[in-house]
Structure 1
Amino acid sequence: MSDTLTIVTWNINSIRARIDLFGMMTKKLRPDVVLLQETRVTDGSFPLKTMHRRGFKHTALNGRGGHHGVAILSKVPLDDVRIDIIGGIDQSRHVSAVVDWGGPARLHSLYVPSGGDEPDVETNEKFRQKLEFVDGMLEWGQSAVGERAIVAGDFNIAPYPSDVWSHRQLLDVISHTPAETDRLENVRASQGWVDVVRRDRPEPQEVYTWWSYRNKTWPGSNRGRRLDHIWASPSLADSVREIDVLREARGWEKASDHVPVVARIER
């Protein structure tokens, strides 16, 4: 048995529409556990038979269709599945489960609201909900960080200047406004979460995980953002190694606008 657990987080932007791309990703990365966001299916419609055939026999689902839904698919047993409602936003945005890897470790798949288009809480209900969700992470995370844990997923926030193609031009664009970035960094820093991607690829190195469908010249212009994250609790962070971003997945036919992010956990 391997001494390394390979974890992938990916906003797949519809599991049914991209079931073949899921297969391409697993052949490329050979993950043991996959954390998905924006599955866009109810739990009863999730393609479990296909996942079982690919070796992912253990699952934790929280789906309702639309632009929501999260999942954990695993080749190793999952225990103590939980679904949390964060910030009072009940939209199938969280699921977690425990794996036994050098001791129990809880894996969270998290999908923060996108926030719509206008960064004004008075005129944009979606943006107000997004800020409420991130504020809710403060209380929620106090408990989560106390375990050996990974929180990963589409946070829909690019917190640092080199997480976006232009810090100056995007300060008023949702995902990089100070109202979002300051809140998210407060959650991370105040609780002690380790952003393992930035630990291993520190500023000012550019790291992107999302490229808009509106960017028709991708990858030439490379106008990306780092919206997908992997945080580790202090008790687990030293065991997290080999961070990678599967950038090539953005160029696959009928790709998601997000790409998989990989971390490997040593026993």
Structure 2
Amino acid sequence: MSFTLATWNINSVRLREPIVLKLLQEEAPDILCLQECKSPVEKIPFEGFAALGYTHMIARGQKGYNGVAILSKLPIRDVGDKDFALLGHARHVAGALENGVVIHNFYVPAGGDVPDREVNVKFGQKLDYLTEMRDWFRAERPQKSILVGDLNIAPREDDVWSHKQLLKVVSHTPVEVEHLNNAQEAGGWTDVTRADIPDGQLYSWWSYRAKDWDAADKGRRLDHIWASDDIKSAAHSSRIIRAARGWEKPSDHAPVFATFDL
């Protein structure tokens, strides 16, 4: 069984339904995982996705904030969610394919603007969320699993436009990178994107604040696809659809793709 999977922080699935449909029509992944849907589940525009063959959806939602969804052409079974750090947010959902592969879709907290948990509650919540991810992975030791999502951390020096200038900026601080690496190691996860594309600058997010995001190219790789140790060799063909960042009424994120032969 071979399938292509994509992950995309869509920043409102209802507002940006047209570009979700565009991606599904042009790139046709078998599975699309969305984050920051900002919609109750019942108001996600499922009909349009189903008309393109995405007849299966697993989602967790809330009005105006957060929200994660898995759209699939392949049969997929809801296998639950976890409320890491007890935030009460719709930030995780998991689905199992018929071949037993479990897909975890995550939206890790952004962490606010100040990288200090003593003065910024949101930063502390982010670190606590990652710590609980680590502990869960250590206890469960995922097998035959894929983890995707907006993890809101660019871990490598070449995952940001300027390592030196972003060392004190939330998403690339050493403490965040350490927490993310600890979670990855605890679960035996492989960063599929970087296994496929090991060298060079690589981004999936560009700020709305840039007058010309493409020319400035001050990006960060915040969106990730990981594979558990037992299926890491099945992953290939990783790519980021950078052009989607320039579509009409875009998200500030671009979709990340990988193919698995399982």
- Structure 1 gap segments, 5+ residues each: none
Q: Counterpart in 1 of 2:82?
A: 84
The answer to whether residue 244 in structure 2 is matched with residue 249 in structure 1 is yes
Letter in 1 for 2:14: R
2:115 corresponds to which of 96, 119, 129: 119
**Greater CA drift, 3-12 or 139-148:** 139-148
Question: SS of 1:7's equivalent?
Answer: strand
The answer to whether residue 141 in structure 2 is matched with residue 141 in structure 1 is no
The answer to whether residue 191 in structure 2 is matched with residue 163 in structure 1 is no
The answer to whether residue 222 in structure 2 is matched with residue 227 in structure 1 is yes
Q: Counterpart in 1 of 2:6?
A: 8
Question: SS of 2:42's equivalent?
Answer: helix
The answer to whether residue 85 in structure 2 is matched with residue 107 in structure 1 is no
**1:55, distance to aligned residue in structure 2 (A):** 1.0
**Greater CA drift, 108-117 or 23-32:** 23-32
Q: Structure 1 runs of 4+ off > 4 angstroms?
A: none
**1:123, distance to aligned residue in structure 2 (A):** 1.1
Letter in 1 for 2:191: D
Q: Counterpart in 1 of 2:190?
A: 194
Which structure has more helix as a fraction of its residues?
2
**1:191, distance to aligned residue in structure 2 (A):** 2.7
1:184 corresponds to which of 180, 185, 192: 180
- Structure 2 gap segments, 5+ residues each: none
Q: Counterpart in 2 of 1:93?
A: 91
Letter in 1 for 2:160: V
- Check conservation: 1:88, 1:136, Cα contact below 8 A: no
Deviations 1:26-59 (A, max 9, x none): 1221111110000000012111222211211111
The answer to whether residue 58 in structure 2 is matched with residue 60 in structure 1 is yes
Cα pair distance change 1:144/1:60, threshold 3 Å:
farther
The answer to whether residue 114 in structure 2 is matched with residue 152 in structure 1 is no
- Check conservation: 1:39, 1:65, Cα contact below 8 A: no
The answer to whether residue 207 in structure 2 is matched with residue 212 in structure 1 is yes
Identity of aligned residues (%): 42
Q: How many residues align?
A: 262
**Greater CA drift, 44-53 or 231-240:** 44-53
Question: SS of 1:97's equivalent?
Answer: strand
- Check conservation: 2:135, 2:186, Cα contact below 8 A: no
Cα pair distance change 1:126/1:221, threshold 3 Å:
same
Question: SS of 1:219's equivalent?
Answer: helix
What's the C-alpha RMSD, in Å, of the aligned pairs? 1.2
- Check conservation: 1:86, 1:140, Cα contact below 8 A: no
Letter in 2 for 1:43: V
**1:87, distance to aligned residue in structure 2 (A):** 2.5
Q: Counterpart in 1 of 2:258?
A: 263
- Check conservation: 1:6, 1:33, Cα contact below 8 A: yes
